[in-house]
Amino acid sequence: MFKIEIKGVEFNNKGAELMLLSIIQALDIHLHTYQLVLSPGHLLPYEKRAKLGAWQKFSFSFFGIDWTWLGNLFPTKIRKMLHHFGIIVEKDIDIVLDASGFVYSDEWGENRLKKTLKQLTKMQKNGQCYIFLPQAFGPFTGKNDELMQKIIAKSQLIITRDQVSYKHVSLLAKRGEALCFPDFTTLLSVNKISLPEHLPTKYVCVIPNHKMFSQKSPADKKCYIQFLITSIKAIEECGLTPVLLNHEGKEDYDICLTIVEQNKNKLIILNELDALKVKKVIAQSFFCISSRFHGCISSLSQGVPAISTSWSHKYEELYRSYQCEDFLLETTISKVELLKKIEKIINQREQQSRKLLRLSQIHNNQCKAMWKIVFDKMQT
């Protein structure tokens, strides 16, 4: 029975939670029996890990130093004893599925790259398998370029999520290791998930993202908040009800509160929903305005038109794949132009929805093919 660690996921970010649940769904379909392993942490609390039946990886840091390696020194008898407590050390894990989303890039620095390379080096010596599931990568320059090249060489499979990421990785790959497939959360159905109570009949989800300004100036933050407020007013002028949907944690929730304070009309805020509820709410939205990547995916893949803003190449690539680049906007757009975009969605809603669902089916078939490649690699 494979012991499989899913790396890079969490419960705070609903996109990361969707990836976790999607991987578990694929494991259930393809393997039937396996042992799920997750690392402990404040974004992966024990109660939620326990509900999934996940083993806990022996993993902790102290004074900024990673002490996970200590578990590998335990004799077999001690390691087996830890199994009674649901704890497993790194060397006893067979496969790591990395679903980090977007952390391997110059933007996030070299620390994550160094840590992953260290883990891969140990796993390679132990004959373990490390697979990067579809995610965004790059760009890489200088030392990061060298680190990523070594990471690619030591992994069994690396799958990018878009053509820009594919080019970044392919430039470093020597043997054509990289593949490219769409985001795999589209295969996760929410047909049996119920909606929260008291939602209006015709609502529009507005999904903020603090990363739109987190590394920019106060003026950029002000501009982004104003864009969201303008969007909400435009939605109301079109006879629809805006609903603020928090897709990740406190920082995005603070944006929601700021908007409520500055808006004259009372606004609905949906907060602390689990990932499946969030995806269901998006599925029933008339359209969405989202700055969260998986908010956009959950919208477009379910046939719900979505206006978006971007802070990374992954948004441009996503909208290109759904043939709706026209709805990827700058935060400086005027209210008049924004209203035109919204009116176009309202007037062509059914036509756009059919196109999105057709493209989504193509992406779903590609994702199924991707999983076959992954499980074939896992069992070789």
Cα first-last separation, the chain: 14
pLDDT at 78 over 70: yes
Measured between alpha carbons, how far is 22 from 76 in angstroms, rounded to an integer?
Answer: 33
Residue 45 inside a domain? The answer is yes
pLDDT at 64 over 70: yes
69 and 182 share a domain? yes
pLDDT tens for residues 124-134?
A: 999 999 999 99
pLDDT tens for residues 200-214?
A: 999 999 999 999 998
Q: Which of 3, 11, 61 is nearest to 276 (CA)?
A: 11
Residue 194 inside a domain? The answer is no
Measured between alpha carbons, how far is 190 from 21 in angstroms, rounded to an integer?
Answer: 12
156 and 69 share a domain? yes
180 and 283 share a domain? no
Measured between alpha carbons, how far is 372 from 228 in angstroms, rounded to an integer?
Answer: 41
> Strand, helix or coil at 292?
coil
Starting at the edge strand that comes first in sequence, how are the strands of the sheet with 268-270 ordered? 268-270, 241-245, 203-207, 288-290, 306-308
27 and 137 share a domain? yes
By residue range, what is the domain housing residue 101? 3-188+363-378
11 and 112 share a domain? yes
pLDDT tens for residues 288-313?
A: 999 999 999 999 999 999 999 999 99
CATH number at residue 169: 3.40.50
CATH number at residue 280: 3.40.50.2000
Residue 195 inside a domain? The answer is no
Q: Of all residues in the chain, what percent carry a pLDDT higher than 70?
A: 99
**How large is the angle between the packed helices 313-321 and 293-300, nearest 10 degrees?**
0
Measured between alpha carbons, how far is 48 from 62 in angstroms, rounded to an integer?
Answer: 23
Count of domains observed in the chain: 2
Please give the average per-residue pLDDT across 2-8, as a whole number. Answer: 97
332 and 227 share a domain? yes
171 and 213 share a domain? no
Label residue 175 by pLDDT band (50, 70, 90). Answer: low
154 and 210 share a domain? no
pTM of the model: 0.95
Label residue 176 by pLDDT band (50, 70, 90). Answer: low
Residues 6+ apart with CB under 8 A from 317: 161, 162, 163, 164, 165
C-beta of residue 206 within 8 angstroms of C-beta of residue 295: no
Residue 113 inside a domain? The answer is yes
> Strand, helix or coil at 96?
strand
Chain centre distance of CA 45: 18
Residue 196 inside a domain? The answer is no
Residue 355 inside a domain? The answer is yes
Q: Which residue has the tokens 């004259």?
A: 264
350 and 371 share a domain? no
Q: Which residue has the tokens 């160094």?
A: 114
pLDDT tens for residues 308-337?
A: 999 999 999 999 999 999 999 999 999 999
Residue 247 inside a domain? The answer is yes
> Strand, helix or coil at 75?
coil
Exposure class string for 235-245: b at 16+ Cβ within 10 A, else e: beeeebbbbbb
161 and 222 share a domain? no
140 and 24 share a domain? yes
According to the model, what pLDDT value does residue 15 have?
Answer: 97
Encoding tokens for residue 71?
A: 């578990």
Residues 6+ apart with CB under 8 A from 182: 134, 161, 321, 363, 366, 367
Backbone angles phi, psi at 86, to 5 degrees: 75, 25
144 and 261 share a domain? no
Residue 357 inside a domain? The answer is yes
pLDDT at 378 over 90: yes
